[in-house]
Amino acid sequence: MALIVHKYGGTSMGSTERIRNVAKRVAKWARAGHQIVVVPSAMSGETNRLLGLAKELAPAKPDTAYSRELDMLASTGEQASSALLAIALQSEGQPSVSYAGWQVAIKTNDAFTKARIQSIDDQKVKADLNAGKVVIITGFQGVDDNGNITTLGRGGSDTSAVAVAAALKADECLIYTDVDGVYTTDPRVVPEARRLQTVSFEEMLEMASLGSKVLQIRSVEFAGKYKVPMRVLSSFTPWDIDIHEEAASGTLITFEEDEQMEQAVVSGIAFNRDEAKISVLGVPDKPGIAYQILGAVADANIEVDVIIQNLSKDGKTDFSFTVHRNDYAKTIDLLKEKVLPSLGVAEVLGDAKICKVSIVGIGMRSHVGVASKMFRALSEEGINIQMISTSEIKTSVVIDEKYMELAVRALHKAFDLDQA
């Protein structure tokens, strides 16, 4: 008998028919003798519907103001889907109970709309599990010290599930989703993309941060911190599939670096076109210049990703960085108004039509020449590299967005990712 946490995304909970399927699957696991805690997302579309209503009422500052009330509002989606799942389970003859975040309680700080989990009380949940009930805990939400409802931000149900698994010392946290695992890259771009049977926690962390949308990055961080074994698998297999087959399906996120992993130099290719590039040209090359430019950007709460500074020439240098495309225009305006005047002759250029492509692999630590192999593959396709950023287990390049698919396919082939 194991204690297992199941997490179901919004698509898996998207209709009463799908909720019934989730209930049958969960009941199967319970009948097999396991203690099961389920963390469901809101039915797909529900969170957007609710926040859309809020936006109609407060068009001015939909994302930042009214945040306490936005959390009161958005948290209802998960509460409703959790209750519906409890009803479906009871209808299947499986005793169950649903709890909102505050009922468990899942304590968070008071950073509304992006709260962080601080503690989870396992008392009620353990008692219900020992009484033979499936326990359903709303994802995405918690409660602060003053009894206000908080939410964890988009994708927060993944984080809830891992945090619950950590608090309960669960044997495994199964993330059921609409894909059947983590792939070497997006199969919509590279049809030969392969599902990985295992991926290391650190690789998963890089992939999540680089734009692979399978798992929310904070949930991976949480899993890493508390060493929660986590598996990504499909909720669209038939619910009555053999339980041992199901338990071994998908992709397991591991914490041990076994020998097999050492052999795969690169595990996957991540990419996104969420960013825009901004260059400040002709900047005086003197100490404090990076802070002068990026300090103003940071003060405006704009996140910066890749940063490069060119070699100096005639005491002048060029300084480039990327921001999220949503912040592009705002950043350009900010630089022109607040930064350029104090820099003298500097000029700002921007390009929103870029993408970032990255190779990720824990094996890069112990292998040389991986980056140069990447650059050669791109060069053979005639793709110009605009920016480069590296870490211990990944190398990212910024290129023209029109080459994105071409670059991903070329790299997938160059690193033999289509070979098992």
How many residues belong to the site for a copy of itself (CB under 8 A)?
39
Considering the complex, state which of residue 133 and residue 394 has its C-beta at the smaller distance from a copy of itself. 133
CA separation for the pair 162, 144 (Å, rounded): 19
Contact 20, 171 (CB under 8 A): no
Q: Is 64 in the site for a copy of itself (CB under 8 A)?
A: no
> What beta strand segments (E) does 255-353 contain?
268-272, 275-284, 304-309, 316-324, 347-351
Phi/psi-derived region of residue 17, left when phi > 0, alpha when psi is between -120 and 50, beta in every other case: alpha
Tokens of 267: 């595990």
The least distance separating a copy of itself from the CB of residue 54, rounded to whole angstroms, comes to: 5
CA neighbours closer than 13 Å in the CB half-sphere of residue 126: 8
Q: Is 326 in the site for a copy of itself (CB under 8 A)?
A: no
Q: Is 76 in the site for a copy of itself (CB under 8 A)?
A: yes
Considering the complex, state which of residue 73 and residue 189 has its C-beta at the smaller distance from a copy of itself. 73
Q: Could you say which of 11, 41, 82, 251 contacts a copy of itself (CB under 8 A)? A: 82
Tokens of 338: 């607040």
Q: Is 379 in the site for a copy of itself (CB under 8 A)?
A: no
The least distance separating a copy of itself from the CB of residue 57, rounded to whole angstroms, comes to: 4
Beta-sheet pairing, 172-177 with 3-8: parallel
Phi/psi-derived region of residue 113, left when phi > 0, alpha when psi is between -120 and 50, beta in every other case: left
Residue ranges in 134-173 that form contacts with a copy of itself under rule CB under 8 A: 147-149
Q: Is 58 in the site for a copy of itself (CB under 8 A)?
A: yes
Nearest 5 degrees, angle CA 223-CA 224-CA 225?
A: 95
Q: Is 39 in the site for a copy of itself (CB under 8 A)?
A: no
Q: Is 239 in the site for a copy of itself (CB under 8 A)?
A: no
Q: Is 189 in the site for a copy of itself (CB under 8 A)?
A: no
Phi, psi of 85 (to 5 degrees): -65, -40
Phi, psi of 317 (to 5 degrees): -145, 165
Q: Is 79 in the site for a copy of itself (CB under 8 A)?
A: yes
Q: Is 109 in the site for a copy of itself (CB under 8 A)?
A: no
- Interacting residue ranges for a copy of itself, rule: CB under 8 A: 16, 19-20, 23, 50, 53-54, 56-58, 60, 65-66, 68-70, 72-73, 75-77, 79-80, 82-84, 86-88, 90-91, 97-98, 100, 102-103, 147-149
